[in-house]
Amino acid sequence: MASFGRARRVRIYVNEGDHVGHVPTHVAVMQFLRREGAQGATVFRGIEGFGAAGEVHLSHLVDVAGKLPLVVEWIDEAQRVERLMPKLLALVKHGFITSDETEIVLYEPHPVRVLAAAITAGDVMSREVTSVEPGASVRKVVELILGRPYRALPVVDGGRVVGIITGSDMVERGKLGLRPELLPRLGQSELQRELEALSGKATTAADVMTSAPVCIAPSMPLPDVALLMTRRRLKRLPVVDGAGALVGMVSRYDLLRSAAGGFESPEAQPGAPAFSAEAPLSSVMRRDVPTVHPETPLPETMQALVSTRLNLAVVVDDHRRVVGLVSDGALLERVTPALHRGVIRSLMHRLPFARHRPEEEETVAHAQAHTAGELMTRSVPSAPEGTKLAAAIELMLRDHAKVLVVTGPDGALVGIVDRADLLRGLVTGPP
């Protein structure tokens, strides 16, 4: 039986008569989860039940109409559950909430549909957005990003968005020694050294941010948002109201998830633009894929890994069939910490991996993982080159993958796509 990973299952037990203001509690919970980009939730209506008060509610008793038990079941990533739980607890005034780990053994969402222009940025944006003030220290910025799903922080001054800080900003202007998304891969002592190095700097968010960032209104149709992201090569956009105040963030992931049917679509006007998911992967894939063999040594593997912006190399056999994937994050986790300095230097400056000290030579000689085969991840999401963008998006979302390997008729590697490639394909449509 295939397993698609671990998740959290949350159950909210309420009664039909419970309200949040003038809205039934179960309706308020569903609206909240949908606004916050939850993966999915279902409401179940009970026919009988009793709570802590001991009062029995039966569906055939007239005098308890409106008091029957309801269960809202929500299944999602652990990080999102952790992030939204405090607000959920504040929302549900009366009831019973449980949370437990669950295993997803089947995930087959409905096919990707054409996304109408009637869907706007405000419909899919994340509303709970962490921001910083211009005077915040660079260390605080890094600590806010560490271990979180977002990779950029809006900078807000007097309620208005005045800048945005990306990982590139932190490396180029903040002098961070490693891209923020790779920091959690370091050991605790190494991570603390990086943070302490930032503490000694007087650099602030205003010093490293990209000023006057591209912002969008909540009313912007999603095809226009996708086109803007594609043309400007942006991964995420702040959403602001008429006064320039931050109200949300939209990412490429939000757009792909929306195209995959993450919510009900209102009717579009005739002739309105829409995404197209009918193009094959072969029309958007890149063919210059860095490849290595399982026996390729660490220095050559590093050279292939830093040769493109994808920061990965595909491991293939003699017939170019895919056997694994080496990413920068996995490499940092699996090589011995004594080699981290050389690996980081190579990753950050896109230079060949070199060892200048005798002790490093000795470390490599005795390291357990020093070839691509020993460093690679064997689970690699892949699809044939004729696969429609619709199916490719579903596969990437299901596996939480950032890339998808593309194979030919004989199963050999022919290309690779990432989220930017898929979004560009949705915008341009079939050739």
Q: pLDDT digit string (tens) for 104-150? A: 777 655 444 444 456 789 988 888 888 999 999 888 888 888 766 66
Specify if 267 maps to a domain: no
286 shares its domain with 423? yes
The last residue of one of the domains, among 259, 294, 311, is 259
CA 326 to chain centre: 19
10: containing domain: 6-103
Which CATH number does the domain housing residue 90 bear? 3.30.70.120
Specify if 1 maps to a domain: no
145 shares its domain with 95? no
**Beta partners for 388?**
280
Q: Is the pLDDT of residue 10 over 60?
A: yes
Specify if 161 maps to a domain: yes
pTM, to two decimals? 0.62
Q: How far apart are CA 256 and CA 386, in angstroms?
A: 19
Specify if 387 maps to a domain: yes
Q: Retrieve residue 115's tokens.
A: 């996304």
SS3 call for 50: strand
Q: How far apart are CA 366 and CA 352, in angstroms?
A: 21
Of 431 and 415, the structure prediction assigns the larger pLDDT to 415
Specify if 274 maps to a domain: no
Indicate the number of domains in the chain: 3
**80-99 mean pLDDT:** 89
191 shares its domain with 255? yes
Specify if 422 maps to a domain: yes
422 shares its domain with 352? yes
62 shares its domain with 128? no
Q: How far apart are CA 260 and CA 277, in angstroms?
A: 10
351 shares its domain with 412? yes
Q: How far apart are CA 46 and CA 218, in angstroms?
A: 38
Instruction: Calculate ∠ Cα 193-194-196, nearest 5°.
Output: 65
157 shares its domain with 295? no
Specify if 110 maps to a domain: no
pLDDT digits (tens, 9 = 90+) for 318-352: 999 999 998 877 777 766 665 666 666 666 655 55
Dihedral sign, CA of 227, 233, 238, 244? Answer: negative
pLDDT of residue 430: 47
310 shares its domain with 195? no
246 shares its domain with 127? yes
The last residue of one of the domains, among 103, 134, 168, is 103
Which CATH number does the domain housing residue 129 bear? 3.10.580.10
Looking at the chain, the whole-number percentage of residues with pLDDT higher than 90 is: 25
53 shares its domain with 167? no
Specify if 197 maps to a domain: yes
207 shares its domain with 255? yes
208 shares its domain with 235? yes
The last residue of one of the domains, among 61, 77, 103, is 103
Q: Retrieve residue 95's tokens.
A: 């009831």
DSSP state of 309: T
54-74 in b/e form (b: 16+ CB < 10 A) is eeebeeeeeebeeebbbbbeb
Q: Check: CB of residue 141 under 8 Å from CB of residue 132.
A: yes
